[in-house]
Structure 1
Amino acid sequence: MREGDFLGHDYDIDVGVDYDDFEPERLHAAVEKSNGSWFIKASSYCTFREAVANGGVHYYQMDKPILIKLVHRTGLVADLFVHVEEEGVVWHGSAIHRWDNSPFTLAEYHLGREAVMGAADADRYLSENYGDWRTPVMQFDCSIDPPNIRYSKTARAVTYLAKMVYRYLLDGEHASAVRYLEALQAAGVITREGRHWKFND
């Protein structure tokens, strides 16, 4: 929307499909028919962890993948996000986190010479996902920077995010490690107790 074309610093393509319209079998069949041009690198299922009335915890998983990573033989990566509408929210995500949006309709736009569909109220959709989307940001971390992010709060999610912090510390990128810890604390995923961090189970 800002550039009117592909972003020069971006490295993949994100595509969305409604959960009710998504048929994984059709996608697999299309990949098979591509004669090796495309392959599926990974499929992620969104696992939820919710507290129940008796003080226990209930886990459940969606029947369809929530994110599929496709790779073209040229190395181009396309992320297929499945959008779920429930309780007045349209969200998409991964096994680690999700991003919540207000319900939206679609409109046609042009990406270079290609006609594509996107949220009709582009300003609202982009603001929910990126904040000030009119100002270019070359380093945007989808795990902590989106204003509309929610974490799944599963052990898998917390382990993945903790590994990111550890990797930053090993690389001497202390500011990035602190950003992750502060984002997780603000979201209520972890709590600081003195010199230690505790997973809020």
Structure 2
Amino acid sequence: MIDRLAIAMRPGAVLGKAKKDEFTALLDAGRQNDAENLALGHIARGVHRGFYLGQLIDHYAKTGRNGEVVRLIDDYAGDKALTSYPWRIALAAALVDVGNFDRARPLLLDLIMGHNFAAPLQLYRRLPATPDSVSMAVAAFNRSTRSANARMSHTIHLVDIAIAARELGRAAFMMESLLDVVGSTRFASLPKPKAAMKPSAGNTALVDLYDLLMPAIPFFLISGTLLGVIREGKLLGGDKDVDVGIMGAEHAGALQTKIAASPKFKEQFVPSVDLIKLTHQNGVKIDVFLHHREGEVLWHGSHLHAWDNKVWWQEGEPPLVEHEYAGRPFLIPSDPDMYLTDNYGDWRTPRSDYDASLEAPNRRVRAPQLTRLHWQKLIVRYYMDAELTLLSKAFRYYEREFGADAFLRKAGDLLILKPYQVERPEAVMPTTEVV
């Protein structure tokens, strides 16, 4: 999110490249203090101040120094450039990260109302939530001038805000209202499925994670990442992220500290103590699942689902062994066949469009109400992303788990029986409000 600053704060392409090369060269040489002093000197003298403020804020944010982001923006609050969206969202993100929620809330409400971006809603989700705070977010959202497609996709973030406040009935009503918005929206063009992760990018992220964490914080390959490495000798072409695990919660804090100090990774917020989500600088997403042993079961998951694996090692034997991949001795379960069979059944036969949150034979639901809402969001997202095979599966598994309720019947009428409606880019925004 903060990386948008590099786009919005470009005072001149030629100047920017030359100055960025100087600043970046110092960072790449490990001379962090020199790079920071270079930027601070230019800022203090007013020489290319906007450019160097952007570079320094981006650097502070990437290395987890959010207090420095707040201080720097506050010190130059009189600068006219600081009134633009990238500066204000950078400040809001830093305020949330340092826990200054009282200052962050009005800023985020103003950004929700005045801009056509999802980031303010995503940050607002991290604030302490109450029914009143949900109402404030909804009011700001309804007063915004979002485009039809943005209103459609961003409503899901309002649902998450309501869930955070335990307003589950309201969240369910929002999802039904969202169906009306989706059903009446004319797309500027036919939606296309999102591109899968490039295996080469996934390899880069995995190697960088290995070099950052191992051996102090041992992690191992799991789920689709392990499946690809064992069955194909490479990451699966259709995967959208990388999955790894750590044993227990012992190393979770140290892992988060390492990530916060790394310019290559950023932790993403999730409402779960059993899952840590990361994003690599190349865009690859990594899920780090904490694994917990209960008797003869080792489980991992989130606040929604858990996946149960039978303990695959005998007492006195190591649970993990090294497996050479991408030039590194990655750890994997010592009995990968047993592990993968629990997760996939016949794992040797390739299957397209597999969704572990729906189809895994070892999946169990931890929170039925939250899982129902999560699957409702999946149905809408699969429709908006034109993931039609996954959409069909989501309908089938939702009905199996929760029955043909009002949401599913309405979704069937609006999303399955009607074709996509396409209009010119200047499509009229639906007037349906979220409540």
> Is the TM-score greater than 0.5?
yes
Aligned to 2:248: 19
Q: In 2, Cα distance between the equivalents of 1:13 and 1:21?
A: 21
Q: In 2, Cα distance between the equivalents of 1:4 and 1:175?
A: 26
Work out whether residues 399 and 408 of structure 2, in 8 Å CA contact, stay in contact via their aligned partners in 1.
no
Q: In 1, Cα distance between the equivalents of 2:235 and 2:338?
A: 20
Aligned to 1:55: none
Aligned to 1:40: 267
Q: TM-score, normalised by structure 1?
A: 0.73
Alignment partner of 1:146 is 2:360? yes
Q: In 1, Cα distance between the equivalents of 2:298 and 2:288?
A: 15
Work out whether residues 66 and 94 of structure 1, in 8 Å CA contact, stay in contact via their aligned partners in 2.
yes
Alignment partner of 1:31 is 2:259? yes
Q: Equivalences for 1:153-192 in 2 at 5 Å? A: 153-168=367-382, 176-186=390-400, 189-192=401-404
Q: Deviations over 1:107-145 (max 9, x none)?
A: 221223221111111111101111221122232112112
Work out whether residues 6 and 111 of structure 1, in 8 Å CA contact, stay in contact via their aligned partners in 2.
no
Aligned to 1:103: 311
Aligned to 1:128: 342
Amino-acid identity (%): 32
Q: 1:30 is matched by which residue type in structure 2?
A: K
Q: Equivalences for 1:20-99 in 2 at 5 Å? A: 20-24=249-253, 26-34=254-262, 36-45=263-272, 65-99=273-307
Work out whether residues 307 and 364 of structure 2, in 8 Å CA contact, stay in contact via their aligned partners in 1.
yes
Q: In 2, Cα distance between the equivalents of 1:171 and 1:11?
A: 13
Q: In 1, Cα distance between the equivalents of 2:367 and 2:373?
A: 10
Q: 1:13 is matched by which residue type in structure 2?
A: V
Work out whether residues 268 and 277 of structure 2, in 8 Å CA contact, stay in contact via their aligned partners in 1.
yes
Work out whether residues 241 and 284 of structure 2, in 8 Å CA contact, stay in contact via their aligned partners in 1.
yes
Q: In 2, Cα distance between the equivalents of 1:168 and 1:69?
A: 21
Q: 1:103 is matched by which residue type in structure 2?
A: V
1:176 shift after superposition: 4.1
1:82 shift after superposition: 0.4
1:166 shift after superposition: 3.9
Q: In 2, Cα distance between the equivalents of 1:138 and 1:195?
A: 27
Q: 2:246 is matched by which residue type in structure 1?
A: V
Identify the structure with the greater helix proportion. Answer: 2
Secondary structure of residue in 1 paired with 2:288: strand
Compared with structure 1, are the counterparts of its residues 116 and 40 closer, same or farther at alpha carbon in structure 2 (3 Å cutoff)? same
Aligned length: 174
Q: In 2, Cα distance between the equivalents of 1:14 and 1:171?
A: 22
Compared with structure 1, are the counterparts of its residues 161 and 88 closer, same or farther at alpha carbon in structure 2 (3 Å cutoff)? same
Q: In 2, Cα distance between the equivalents of 1:183 and 1:17?
A: 29
Q: 1:2 is matched by which residue type in structure 2?
A: R
Q: In 2, Cα distance between the equivalents of 1:174 and 1:75?
A: 24
Q: 1:156 is matched by which residue type in structure 2?
A: L
Alignment partner of 1:10 is 2:239? yes
Aligned to 1:119: 333
Q: Deviations over 1:72-126 (max 9, x none)?
A: 1121222101001113211111222111100132122122322111111111110
Compared with structure 1, are the counterparts of its residues 16 and 95 closer, same or farther at alpha carbon in structure 2 (3 Å cutoff)? same
Work out whether residues 89 and 102 of structure 1, in 8 Å CA contact, stay in contact via their aligned partners in 2.
yes
Q: In 1, Cα distance between the equivalents of 2:326 and 2:388?
A: 39
1:194 shift after superposition: 10
Secondary structure of residue in 1 paired with 2:257: helix
Compared with structure 1, are the counterparts of its residues 112 and 135 closer, same or farther at alpha carbon in structure 2 (3 Å cutoff)? farther
1:174 shift after superposition: 6.8
* Relative contact order higher in (CA < 8 Å, ≥ 6 apart): 1
Secondary structure of residue in 2 paired with 1:116: strand
Secondary structure of residue in 1 paired with 2:393: helix
Work out whether residues 4 and 110 of structure 1, in 8 Å CA contact, stay in contact via their aligned partners in 2.
no
Work out whether residues 99 and 149 of structure 1, in 8 Å CA contact, stay in contact via their aligned partners in 2.
yes
Q: Deviations over 1:139-166 (max 9, x none)?
A: 2112112111111233222111122234
Q: In 1, Cα distance between the equivalents of 2:406 and 2:264?
A: 53
Q: In 2, Cα distance between the equivalents of 1:148 and 1:95?
A: 16
Q: In 2, Cα distance between the equivalents of 1:113 and 1:190?
A: 46
Q: TM-score, normalised by structure 2?
A: 0.36
